[in-house]
Structure 1
Amino acid sequence: MRANYHQSQKPEAALQRAHEFISVGKQRDALQNLYDLIKGRRQKQWSQIHEQIMLKYVELCVSLRNSTVAKDGLYQYKMLTQQVAVKSLETVFSALLTLAEKKTLEAQKSSIEKMEEIDDLDVADTPENLLLSVVSGAVPQDRMDRTVLSPWLRFQWDTYRNCLDLLRNNVYVEQIYHNFARQSFAFCLRYKRRNEFRKLSDMLRLHLTQVQKAQQAQTIPAHAVKLTNIDSLTLMLETRLCQLDTAINMELWQEAYKTAEDLHNLMQIGKDKKIAKPSSYANYYDKIALVFWKGGNTLFHAASLLQKFNIHKDMKKQFTGEEATDQATKVLLATLSIPDGAERPSILTKHLDIEEQHIANTRILSALLRMPIIPTRDGILKEIARLNIPEIAAPEVFKLYKSIEFNFDPLHIAVNVQEMLLEVEQLGEKLGYCEYGQYSNSIKKTVAAKIVKQISSIYESITLERLSEIIPFYDRMHLEQFLVDICKQNLVSAHIDHCRNCIYFGHVDSLLASELESENGNISEISKIKTHVSSFYSILQDAHLDIDQSLVKELQEKLARQIKIYLSHKDGDFERILGRRKRIELYKENTELMKKEKLFQSQMLANKQEEKRRTEEYKKLMEENKENEQHRKLAEQVEIQRKVAADRLKKLKSQPLYEMLVKELGEEAVEKMDLQQFTREKLKILDKERKEQQNKLLQQEKKFDYYVRAIHLEEMLVLKELSDERQTSAPALFDQYETRRIDEV
């Protein structure tokens, strides 16, 4: 009975009744009253009163913190207004978000709870946390304050999520969708909601996937967002740029990288339409350069800044002045911070046999930067030289560039570079560019590796104390760690002798030589320099021995002692070396066998996977054929039903009851009825007419009865008068009759 009442009541009456409920403190009843009205089937045409109802509705939902009921009501209102009153829809959604934000701010002011203490808004308080709060000894007021902010944050998060879910993939409300998405990013940033930002990013990524799938469907809904629309793609790009900026501000570098991939994919979709402005590309390269820097990928960081420099150079015909100097300085510093061999796979990558995956990953990163080939350090250096970037950069950085790339002075370059880096940092502080100082450690590491390589081309060995003086960037422990790292990267070949406190360059055994050195028999220029220096040292040593004969005698005695020691250990050393050689050969054979076995297993696995793929593809093809056949038959049945329904509708329109049903239920509802529904509605109308006719006859019968009774009452009065007259005139009439009778006799 209550439902029928709510369905029949008018919107104005429902709003008035809601106000009455609120005035007596029954907010839940007021919300239920408005909810029943909104869910009613009679609300088919929008009017201004509906907006007032929805504003009161969302206000009650916020007061009661009921996000589920709010979502249901907003869905109904969206279906009512998305084509006729988009502005009203935006007003209602904005009112909901504004009220939720206001309540959250009020709760934040009155709560002592910290944002970082709330891990996940989708997960309620665990039993462990509740038990801990009880046994922690906190006062009741303290525990109460800690439960003030969490529910409102959770409600606001649910509100943003529900709004985005309701507005997704709808061209009528596309602008509202993107506005609310950017507001949700601001919410995550303001309240430091890292988990919610990840979920929000996944949600937007899912919405984009659904848009792409909808484009591939056979029938595209009229309200669907189309990726061929320039305005839609522009809105998506702007939202993703805001998302990337938020991820960087929250230091969520993994999400920032995923967002950069999404941006790249959107740019690829719209590259033919040229929707992305050069300024957007420059902003994109700036953000992704920061992501690469935080990820420790200096190579692609420098490549990103170089792409940004090219964009700015193409945008502005006269790209000069402070801006050009600043960008050129950053590009040059980033390039100098790239270590040698940064583009090559690491030793661990080679040992794990994932070089192909490494190459594929670098190609993906190159595609993100719109580069046709994988960048290298030498390639970037050639490109910046072609663009005259060193000359455009700051003089301090240009001086640093020349010292590192063109001077061969391994004994003094570290001190000079340290002074130059200090000047660069001071320049950055003076101009307000704090990014200059962030490259110091990377450049020092690159310079240190360059120094060790140059020293290894001149010296066979050097003491660690002397090397520490040459490279003042590290202490003793970090210096040894640095030497181990560059040896692992195959930048130099060396080993540390802790007994003699020195480092030896080159391999002690030719079997341990790296593949790069064993494959190429040609002697490099550095090796030639090393040979000449060694020969010159030998000549000087021979001349010294000719001059000082006492030294010759001492050396001969030392040689005799060493020969004696050698003869005593010769057999053992020979067996040890021979055994070591055999172990190495056996290791190589076993490694080769393992590689062959692994290759065979991988081929077998690939064959099985290919066979499985073909089987699944055949099975899928058969299922698709079967499904297509079912769809065809279903389409034929639907077409037959449509024709039958059309014929039925044509016949129904000729009946007089059709117009009555249209007036009662609406033309759209009548056209959707089948024969049984039409018959039921027809019987309802006939039964209703019969009842109305019976009521009319009953009313007429009652009226006639009253009329007859009234006539009888009046007739009785007349008859009484006649009776009285007859009684009065009866004696006279009798006398007349008797007189006449007597006369006749």
Structure 2
Amino acid sequence: MSHFYQKPENAVKRAEELLSVHQQASALTLLHEVLLSKRARASPIGVLEPIILKFIELAVQLGKGKIVREVLFTYKNIVQNTTVVTIELVIKRYIELAENKLAEAQATADKINLDAVDDLEASETPESILMSTVSTDDSKDRTDRAVVTPWMRFLWEAYRTALDTLRNNARLEILYQHVANQAFGFCLKYTRKTEFRRLCEILRSHLITASKYANQAHSIDLNDAETLQRHLDIRFVQLNAAAELEHWHEGFRSIEDIHNLLELSKKTPKAYMMANYYEKLARIFMVGENYLFHAAALNKYYSIMRQNKNLSREEHERIATSVLISALSIPIISSAGVRSSYEVDENKIRAQRLTTLLRVSQPPTRESLLKEALGKNVFPMVRAEVKDLYKSLEVDFHPLSICKKIAPTILAFSETADLSRYAKLLHQVILTRLLQQLSQVYSTIKIESVVQLASLPAPYNVDAHAIEKFVMNGCKRGELSIRVNHQSQTLTFQTDLFAAGASSTPGPRLQNRLPTDSVRLQLSRFAQRLHVAVGLVQPKIVEDRQAAKLKAFKDAAAYLEEERQASFMRRALIEKKKEMRENEIAEKEREEQRLKALRLQQEQAAEKIRMEEEAKRREIERMAQQRQEIEKIEAQKMAEKLASELGEKNAGFNRDDLMNMDKNSLVQLQVQQLEKERRELLNKTKALLKRVDHTERAFRKEEIPLLKKDFEDQQKHDREAFAAGKAARLEAAKAKHAEDMKMKKSLSRVLDDYIVLRDELQAKRDAEFKEQQAAAARSIKAAKEKRVKEMRSKFEAERERRIQELEDKARREEEERIRLEQAAAEAEKARQAAEARKAEEEERLKRLDEIARKQREREAEIEARRQQQQQQQAAPSAARRPEEPSSASWRRPAPPTPAAPPSTSAYRPPARREATYQPPIRRDGPGETLQPSARRDGPSAPSQTPMAREGSWGASRPLSARAEPPNTTAPPAGGPPRIAPGSWREREAAKRAAAEAAEKSK
């Protein structure tokens, strides 16, 4: 396709030509090659923009989304340094076309579903009953899967491609935010949870990439307040979408993303944003059954919402009631006890993480949340029944009637949508308070009595088993101290006076001091009395203590002024640090403004550099043109010089040939001339070397006798040097041997001690080696056993995995078999429908033939009656016989008038038809019309005589032969024939439609 155009400007025209002959795929390939070619990078934006817009339209029309991705990346790299308006236009056009295609597919699917309903009174058809037996999907699901799903997938790929193209570009931030919001709207409109999770991952990866490549050109700066605010807006849209889709896992991750962005922000976030943040966080904690942090998030949400002056009193009361009821609903006894130190550490880490998300310094507690809910800003706005509930649970002491008093409130909560989720939690708190209060009244109580006291209306009624399970959990958590006696079916409360308090959670009490508290009070009083007795026995201790106290008072009075000065200095230092901090913040803001101005200046400088480069490119082109002219002049000069040089050596050389040569030919000719001169110089050098070789050979003949004499002298000198060295080595060896003998005599005296020490060390090392060897053998054995266990467990896991794979494979094969059966059923249904249509068509053709036959009979009868009338009129003038038709009329007969289509308006009475009768006209071709044959006696003779019509070729044919076949209808005067219903073309069209339906069903 690259040969079909010479310039990118011609690409759109060539694509239009291909589209005119229905070659959409070829046009798309042509535009794809143009946009990816090197020539497109140097083309202006005004040329490339129509090309890529046409490419986008064709790609969307053909459903080719993958090739759009590559083209968009290339186009962005071309235009991002000059203008970004064009890439915004292209992206918006791409998404708009994809959305329109999806809307058209939905409309088509709805129409197909409506057309499939033949009888509105029949609730079930045989086809639907048959399909329901082999598939759980209805016809609408199958139609949507076949028609809507491909374009839905295409639109999703368009959003992904647009986001990947626009990511990490400061100039395209606004469009990036717009496309991300559109993608979230797509997920919400079609309830696409999987695509929503992938979209969140894509945005998260884009943010990580932006922080990783922050130093690149045009990259976004997260330190910029506007950029950070845009990303925060995207994350809040993501959070709202997660809440609407009830995708709570991604909702929690969105909360973490927002928290991280808020930590980067240097400005205080807006109130409505934080209110949305805490509202969604409270919903996520409620779904995760983390009721403590749910109540804390609602408290933070209320603290922001109460600052809204436009908040109505009903909404204010609703939120305040939710804050108090959520704090009351925090379970006193957790449903799952702590089992190990690892879980304790994990719970601490999780609590610290959730505390960070709440943007508070300390983890919340039930007591702190209740204290805040009872403040003057919350408690006065709470509903009256919730206030009574708080009083019953946390203030009053009535173990025998607590459930009866609270039952109406719990039932009222079950009927309210906002408070119904707290009813079950409140029931757990009620049971805890009931058992705590019973422990202050009774020492032993029947389980049946506890069940009666804890009875609430359904579905919150409990039995003995539930009470026992709740008691065991409370004892495990340390909130209760109760023993269960199954033999007597009783509960025994703790009576040990020296034990610790039963519950760590405060609550209403029957008396201020329990027996355990009285024992602890007596012990503390006994300790005080002992302290007084010690002072009476040893008065010096009391005097020393009083003297130390007086000294401390004097020291405090002496250092009072110094402390006051130190406090003043601290305040001054704090103020100074505060001022320095404000100055640093102001300096940072000024630095940010300077950096922003610097970036703007850099962009302007980059634009200036681009303009300079453009001017430089034009200058280079101009210089290249000048260079070509200069080279032409130089070629002429070189030709003249070469002609003069060759003319001196070769008088017969043609000068005009040199002047007509180009520069390359002249250079080649000059090189040939230089090569010829080099060969001549080489021949001269070889002759000179030959003369030098003979001279060197004469020198060496004279040198040989002198070399032999020098060799003999060298041998003599070497023998003398060797003899002297040998004598010196013998003397040194003798001296060394004598010294070694002395050393041996001295060392032989300690040889026995050396042997004993060596044996001891050897034995010690052997023992250590054997011990290490045994330890190594033990470790190897333990490692072998561990490895055997690991391999066995791994083998078992692998075997289970293979079994699971085989089961999955069998399930997939079964699904494939069912799918094939469904496809076969749909194909059979399409075939039956095609056969039914074919039978209907044949029946319609038969009816049309019958109507045409009756019409021909009726026309024949009318024609016979008209001829009889004409014969009666022509009887008086029998001498005037019409002439026989001419040979030309016989050779070119006019066909009879074709039968009119069967309709009531085509019939006319005989008298009227006789008055308006016109001779038949024959058409041998599209532009030729033949008139009927004329009489010999002139134009005055009537041309409508029966003999003239009977003598013509068309009249001599039988009526069945003159009748028009049922494939065509009578054409209008001067117009082409039109296709009659039931023709072979319609039958062929019906066959093609049936084949396409069968192919789609497959």
Report what 1:221 is aligned to.
216
Report what 1:70 is aligned to.
68
1:493 Cα deviation (Å)?
A: 2.5
1:347 is paired with a residue whose SS is coil
1:147-162 aligned at under 5 Å gives the runs 147-162=146-161
Provide closer, same or farther for how the CA distance between residues 459 and 304 of structure 1 changes in structure 2, counting only shifts above 3 A.
same
Residue 440 of structure 1 pairs with residue 423 of structure 2: yes
Residue 382 of structure 1 pairs with residue 375 of structure 2: no
Q: Write the distance in 1 (CA, Å) between the matches of 2:136 and 2:355.
A: 57
Give the one of 318, 323, 330 matched to 1:331: 323
Report what 1:240 is aligned to.
235
1:222 is paired with a residue whose SS is coil
Superposition TM-score, scaled by structure 1 size = 0.62
The one-letter amino acid paired with 1:500 is S
The one-letter amino acid paired with 1:194 is K
Q: Write the distance in 1 (CA, Å) between the matches of 2:421 and 2:359.
A: 26
1:441 is paired with a residue whose SS is helix
1:498 Cα deviation (Å)?
A: 3.8
CA contact (8 A) 2:239 2:251 kept: yes
The one-letter amino acid paired with 1:37 is V
Q: Write the distance in 2 (CA, Å) between the matches of 1:238 and 1:657.
A: 48
Q: Write the distance in 2 (CA, Å) between the matches of 1:361 and 1:531.
A: 36
Report what 1:183 is aligned to.
182
Report what 2:276 is aligned to.
283
The one-letter amino acid paired with 1:437 is S
1:321 Cα deviation (Å)?
A: 2.4
2:484 is paired with a residue whose SS is strand
Report what 2:22 is aligned to.
25
Q: Write the distance in 2 (CA, Å) between the matches of 1:660 and 1:95.
A: 40
Provide closer, same or farther for how the CA distance between residues 518 and 451 of structure 1 changes in structure 2, counting only shifts above 3 A.
closer
Provide closer, same or farther for how the CA distance between residues 180 and 509 of structure 1 changes in structure 2, counting only shifts above 3 A.
farther
1:79 Cα deviation (Å)?
A: 2.4
Report what 1:550 is aligned to.
none
CA contact (8 A) 1:458 1:529 kept: no
Give the one of 493, 498, 503 matched to 1:505: 493
Give the one of 389, 404, 413 matched to 1:415: 404
For residues 307-355 of structure 1, the C-alpha deviation after alignment (integer angstroms, 9 at most, x for no partner) is: 1111223454x9772332222111111111111266xx9633x425232
Provide closer, same or farther for how the CA distance between residues 137 and 214 of structure 1 changes in structure 2, counting only shifts above 3 A.
closer
CA contact (8 A) 2:480 2:502 kept: no
1:505-654 aligned at under 5 Å gives the runs 505-506=493-494, 528-529=513-514
For residues 173-228 of structure 1, the C-alpha deviation after alignment (integer angstroms, 9 at most, x for no partner) is: 1111111111111222222222222221111111111122234xxxx123110011
Would you say how many aligned residue pairs link Structure 1 and Structure 2?
513
Q: Write the distance in 1 (CA, Å) between the matches of 2:136 and 2:330.
A: 55
Provide closer, same or farther for how the CA distance between residues 144 and 255 of structure 1 changes in structure 2, counting only shifts above 3 A.
closer
Residue 355 of structure 1 pairs with residue 344 of structure 2: yes
Residues 353-362 or 234-243, more deviating = 353-362
Provide closer, same or farther for how the CA distance between residues 404 and 161 of structure 1 changes in structure 2, counting only shifts above 3 A.
same
Q: Write the distance in 1 (CA, Å) between the matches of 2:137 and 2:366.
A: 59
Q: Which runs of 5+ in 2 are unaligned?
A: 111-130, 519-615, 640-655, 661-1002
Q: Write the distance in 2 (CA, Å) between the matches of 1:56 and 1:415.
A: 76
The one-letter amino acid paired with 1:27 is Q
Q: Which runs of 5+ in 1 are unaligned?
A: 113-131, 429-433, 534-652, 665-681, 702-745
1:395 Cα deviation (Å)?
A: 1.9
1:407 Cα deviation (Å)?
A: 1.0
1:111 Cα deviation (Å)?
A: 5.1
Q: Write the distance in 2 (CA, Å) between the matches of 1:360 and 1:144.
A: 51
For residues 355-386 of structure 1, the C-alpha deviation after alignment (integer angstroms, 9 at most, x for no partner) is: 22211211111111111100000011112223
Provide closer, same or farther for how the CA distance between residues 50 and 494 of structure 1 changes in structure 2, counting only shifts above 3 A.
same
Provide closer, same or farther for how the CA distance between residues 483 and 46 of structure 1 changes in structure 2, counting only shifts above 3 A.
farther
1:398-413 aligned at under 5 Å gives the runs 398-413=387-402
The one-letter amino acid paired with 1:450 is R
The one-letter amino acid paired with 1:258 is R
Q: Write the distance in 1 (CA, Å) between the matches of 2:432 and 2:397.
A: 13
Q: Write the distance in 2 (CA, Å) between the matches of 1:531 and 1:458.
A: 14
Q: Which has the larger radius of gyration?
A: 2
1:244 Cα deviation (Å)?
A: 0.8
CA contact (8 A) 1:328 1:389 kept: yes
Residues 25-34 or 397-406, more deviating = 397-406
Give the one of 278, 300, 313 matched to 1:321: 313
Provide closer, same or farther for how the CA distance between residues 518 and 191 of structure 1 changes in structure 2, counting only shifts above 3 A.
closer
Report what 1:200 is aligned to.
199
1:251-290 aligned at under 5 Å gives the runs 251-270=246-265, 272-274=266-268, 276-290=269-283
Report what 2:701 is aligned to.
none
Report what 1:567 is aligned to.
none
1:169 Cα deviation (Å)?
A: 0.7
Provide closer, same or farther for how the CA distance between residues 206 and 464 of structure 1 changes in structure 2, counting only shifts above 3 A.
same
Q: Write the distance in 2 (CA, Å) between the matches of 1:142 and 1:52.
A: 39
Q: Write the distance in 2 (CA, Å) between the matches of 1:437 and 1:138.
A: 35
Q: Write the distance in 1 (CA, Å) between the matches of 2:195 and 2:387.
A: 45
CA contact (8 A) 2:496 2:516 kept: no
Residue 471 of structure 1 pairs with residue 454 of structure 2: yes
Residue 302 of structure 1 pairs with residue 300 of structure 2: no
Report what 2:729 is aligned to.
none
CA contact (8 A) 1:46 1:81 kept: no
1:532 Cα deviation (Å)?
A: 11
CA contact (8 A) 1:463 1:502 kept: yes
Superposition TM-score, scaled by structure 2 size = 0.47
Residue 172 of structure 1 pairs with residue 171 of structure 2: yes
1:229 Cα deviation (Å)?
A: 0.9
Q: Write the distance in 1 (CA, Å) between the matches of 2:103 and 2:446.
A: 65
Q: Write the distance in 2 (CA, Å) between the matches of 1:189 and 1:312.
A: 27
For residues 81-117 of structure 1, the C-alpha deviation after alignment (integer angstroms, 9 at most, x for no partner) is: 33544333222212222222232334345559xxxxx
For residues 126-178 of structure 1, the C-alpha deviation after alignment (integer angstroms, 9 at most, x for no partner) is: xxxxxx99x97999999786433333232222221111111111011111111
1:389 Cα deviation (Å)?
A: 1.1
The one-letter amino acid paired with 1:188 is C
Residue 41 of structure 1 pairs with residue 33 of structure 2: no
Residues 352-361 or 257-266, more deviating = 352-361
Residue 488 of structure 1 pairs with residue 486 of structure 2: no
1:297 Cα deviation (Å)?
A: 0.8
CA contact (8 A) 1:67 1:159 kept: yes
1:663 Cα deviation (Å)?
A: 7.4
1:117-136 aligned at under 5 Å gives the runs none
Provide closer, same or farther for how the CA distance between residues 200 and 491 of structure 1 changes in structure 2, counting only shifts above 3 A.
same
Percent same amino acid at aligned positions? 32
Provide closer, same or farther for how the CA distance between residues 445 and 3 of structure 1 changes in structure 2, counting only shifts above 3 A.
same
For residues 464-498 of structure 1, the C-alpha deviation after alignment (integer angstroms, 9 at most, x for no partner) is: 32222211232315444433433333321334344
Q: Write the distance in 2 (CA, Å) between the matches of 1:58 and 1:104.
A: 16
Q: Write the distance in 2 (CA, Å) between the matches of 1:358 and 1:416.
A: 36
For residues 485-527 of structure 1, the C-alpha deviation after alignment (integer angstroms, 9 at most, x for no partner) is: 33333321334344433333349999xx9x98699xxxx9979
1:48 Cα deviation (Å)?
A: 4.3
Q: Write the distance in 2 (CA, Å) between the matches of 1:142 and 1:251.
A: 23
Report what 2:353 is aligned to.
364
1:290 Cα deviation (Å)?
A: 0.6
Q: Write the distance in 1 (CA, Å) between the matches of 2:18 and 2:181.
A: 37
Report what 1:673 is aligned to.
none
Provide closer, same or farther for how the CA distance between residues 55 and 530 of structure 1 changes in structure 2, counting only shifts above 3 A.
farther
For residues 35-84 of structure 1, the C-alpha deviation after alignment (integer angstroms, 9 at most, x for no partner) is: 12212333345444533332221121112222221111211222233354
Q: Write the distance in 2 (CA, Å) between the matches of 1:110 and 1:320.
A: 47
Q: Write the distance in 1 (CA, Å) between the matches of 2:346 and 2:176.
A: 38
1:4 Cα deviation (Å)?
A: 5.7
Q: Write the distance in 2 (CA, Å) between the matches of 1:78 and 1:232.
A: 20
Report what 1:125 is aligned to.
none
CA contact (8 A) 1:333 1:439 kept: yes
CA contact (8 A) 1:289 1:302 kept: yes
1:36 is paired with a residue whose SS is helix
